[in-house]
Structure 1
Amino acid sequence: MKNLLVRLVFLVFSVVFLVGSDRSDVGETTTYNRFEVPFYGQPVPIEYDPGMRLPSLQSIEHANIRSAVRRADRSPTRPLLNSLLAAKERYELNDFLFYKLARLSLRVIYEGRNRNAQELGLYKMLVDVGFDARLTFRGGRVFVNVYTSEDLFEVPIIDTGNRPYANLSCMEQDCNGRQRLYIYDGHPNPRGRSFGFQLTRWPRLAEQPVDRELRFLYHGVQQSMKVTYDKTMVDIMKDYPFIHEYCYLETPLSNTLRKSLLPQLEHYMQRMDEQQRLELLASFTRSAFAYKEDSEYFGRSKPMVPEELFGYSYSDCEDRSALFFALVRDLLDLPMAVVAYDDHLTVAVGSETIPGDAFRMNGQRYVFCDPTGPRASSRIGIIPPGYEDKKFTIIGAYK
């Protein structure tokens, strides 16, 4: 119900926005250009007025930026923004994917040139839809920053006016480390809404199904299954910003993977009790996927959402915890706690009867069910080996 209300509010805002358009922002419909942009395999129709294109900035300083922003305010950007808002509603894009589509469209409109004009166009559209956006500049370049209340990592953040702003431009470009950025003093939406990165649901983009054969050990007996995942979701996450660890666990399985994987696991679980079902799921996440640390496999930290485990050759403890969390939630609907050690992530499941290592939180007993290992073991109720005497924190919970 909450998601429906959010969508309705956004739709009403969009309708009001369109009805109240200033004609100078709309241009002449006879001059509109149209194209389709491939967005993660989904052709998205885009319409724009070529009169919206801005000239190159001769030099980057406050006065020139102010002049360019005023020119952008008078330019006919509304046709493009209308296309983007329609796509956001139709394909159920979150804020970050809306931004990605806007950036990709501007790149096509400017034919990959005039980078600073593209940034100014993006800034205007973010402001027009109600975000609190700020411009920064340095060394001949303009950067777009947007206020967000969400936790981000490995993304440049500036703090001004008691608000954190994420540098969207630096997600796409090499920003040369931590050199000082100058803040443009224009601030059209100081009370604008927070920009969202979390994926509480997947967008409705074209499905790209990929089959994968999996084998896993359950109490020493090899089991096999063929699953189908959606490559579109894996592609979305390839360059997604690094959000809070718990957000990866909350990201759902795609409809493609749900329809393929869950019925097979449910079939295995027939006539099993609760402990055996948890042992089966732990066995699956431990042994169906090869293990390798992110630093060795990707050369950097790369937390995965559950879908991504099926699209890569290797995964680590964070990734398996995300998948185990999703499977227990969707198949068993049991309480869970996400347990974080300094260098390991695991999951504990709420149960008063399953024997083994456990702890209490808010009156509920949680038994350890490590999704990572040991690989050949199906036992649960054991603190991960080597962590018996180490302190941990709870970074999230379900139910």
Structure 2
Amino acid sequence: MRISLVSKKSLTDIRNRICLNDWFFYQFLVVFTDELFPNADDNFKTAFIWFTLMKFGYDSRLSFENGRIYLAVRSESKSYPGYSKKKNFYSYLTFPNSGYNIEEFFIHGKSAKDFDFSLFQYPCHETTREIRKNIDFKITTSEGHSVATANVIIDLDILDHLRQFPALEFRYLVNSKLPVETHESFFKSLNSLIEGKSESEIIQLLLSFVQTSTEYSDDLQNPSLHREKWYTPFESLYYEKSDCEDRTVLLYYLVREILDIPIILIEYPSKDHVNVGIALTNLKTGLFYKGNYFKVFETTSNFGQDGTSQIYRFSEFQIQAEYFPK
């Protein structure tokens, strides 16, 4: 079995042309292998994908159980089940039927690249299925409550791809990118609403946006999902329902993009809860972390409250994502 330099170059050219990150490249290899070897069994196809990933420099490994072989890749992410070995974590891309500690029977020691689940780009299409969406949300003015509207372009093809994406950890979600058309349309619309506002006014507007632009629904109660999977900011701009985690990720992303100030995502494991800490300018009280005071905001507070929280004072918490401007 051999991938020639020409074949590897062809695969590289295809990958670059249609903008595939590691996960989408793996999905492409699954389809490519099925078409290349339509009559081969699953073990052969898995071995071919492993061999291809190895040739592309990934630390990919095979395991064996009950007559089947399984593919794992080294990754910093634990988005997929896997196993640890010598301080490294290996995520299974094809899953054993029982357990995740089965024996490796082949290791290629020269491959050293991690498999990266980051969403820094999305698959490109020659034609797109774009829709324009108006997102209504409540804001507070001197006259009381009113409704504002943000406009956004959504590529439905990208949404289809994301439905097959693993359930990501927070640090991957908050750092995922918006597609170019979505970013340009949404922030053009949003900037017109925040123009001339102070830092605290912008935060309150963004908080109102994430709290009131969607209906609250727990992932497991959402009929469109069959497992708990938190949304990327892009998905949150499309779907009509969201939960605490989805809203917190979106607020983190918006504050970072618009204000470029220190921000943290805080998880409370015992309470199955998350919120956001924002280092407001000249803030002298709050949660102290890495030389900054953070005011903590809840994304599921009822509209009309300021959204601030003191839960960190009496609950154990972990910082799952952080951003400090360079």
The answer to whether the 8 A contact 1:209-1:256 is kept is no
Residue identity in the other structure for 1:193? K
Among 180, 184, 189, the alignment partner of 2:109 is 189
1:62-120 Cα shifts (integer Å, max 9, x gaps): xxxxxxxxxx24xx565543322112223342222221111111112223752222112
Aligned-partner Cα distance in 1 for 2:323–2:103: 42
Among 114, 121, 124, the alignment partner of 1:202 is 121
Aligned-partner Cα distance in 1 for 2:241–2:109: 44
Name the counterpart of 1:218: 139
Give runs of aligned pairs for residues 324-363 of structure 1, distance below 5 A: 324-342=251-269, 343-353=272-282, 358-363=286-291
Aligned-partner Cα distance in 2 for 1:202–1:88: 12
Give runs of aligned pairs for residues 346-385 of structure 1, distance below 5 A: 346-353=275-282, 358-374=286-302, 376-377=303-304, 379-380=306-307, 382-383=308-309
Following superposition, the deviation at residue 244 of structure 1 comes to: 2.2
The answer to whether the 8 A contact 2:118-2:172 is kept is yes
TM-score (norm 1): 0.72
Following superposition, the deviation at residue 162 of structure 1 comes to: 5.0
Q: State which drifts further: 120-129 or 79-88.
A: 79-88
For the pair 1:178 / 2:99, whether they are aligned, the reply is yes
Aligned-partner Cα distance in 2 for 1:182–1:163: 16
TM-score (norm 2): 0.87
Name the counterpart of 1:157: 82
Among 224, 234, 238, the alignment partner of 1:311 is 238
Among 323, 344, 353, the alignment partner of 2:250 is 323
Aligned-partner Cα distance in 2 for 1:112–1:209: 37
Q: State which drifts further: 224-233 or 293-302.
A: 224-233
Give me the identity figure in percent: 22
1:194-238 Cα shifts (integer Å, max 9, x gaps): 221122x21351243222232111122122233222223322321
Give runs of aligned pairs for residues 220-235 of structure 1, distance below 5 A: 220-235=145-160
Task: Decide whether aligned partners of structure 1 residues 331 and 166 sit closer, same or farther in structure 2, where only a CA change above 3 A counts.
Answer: same
Aligned-partner Cα distance in 2 for 1:311–1:77: 43
Task: Decide whether aligned partners of structure 1 residues 398 and 177 sit closer, same or farther in structure 2, where only a CA change above 3 A counts.
Answer: same
For the pair 1:273 / 2:198, whether they are aligned, the reply is yes
Q: Aligned-pair RMSD on alpha carbons? A: 2.5
Name the counterpart of 2:321: 396
Give runs of aligned pairs for residues 104-123 of structure 1, distance below 5 A: 104-111=31-38, 114-123=41-50
Aligned-partner Cα distance in 2 for 1:85–1:279: 45
Local SS of the residue matching 1:222: strand
For structure 1, the 5+ residue unaligned runs are 1-71
Greater helix fraction, Structure 1 or Structure 2 = 1
Aligned-partner Cα distance in 2 for 1:345–1:308: 18
Residue identity in the other structure for 2:47? L
Residue identity in the other structure for 1:269? I
Aligned-partner Cα distance in 2 for 1:90–1:125: 18
1:341-399 Cα shifts (integer Å, max 9, x gaps): 221111121114569x732222222112323322x22624x207x77632322222111
The count of corresponding residues between Structure 1 and Structure 2 is 314
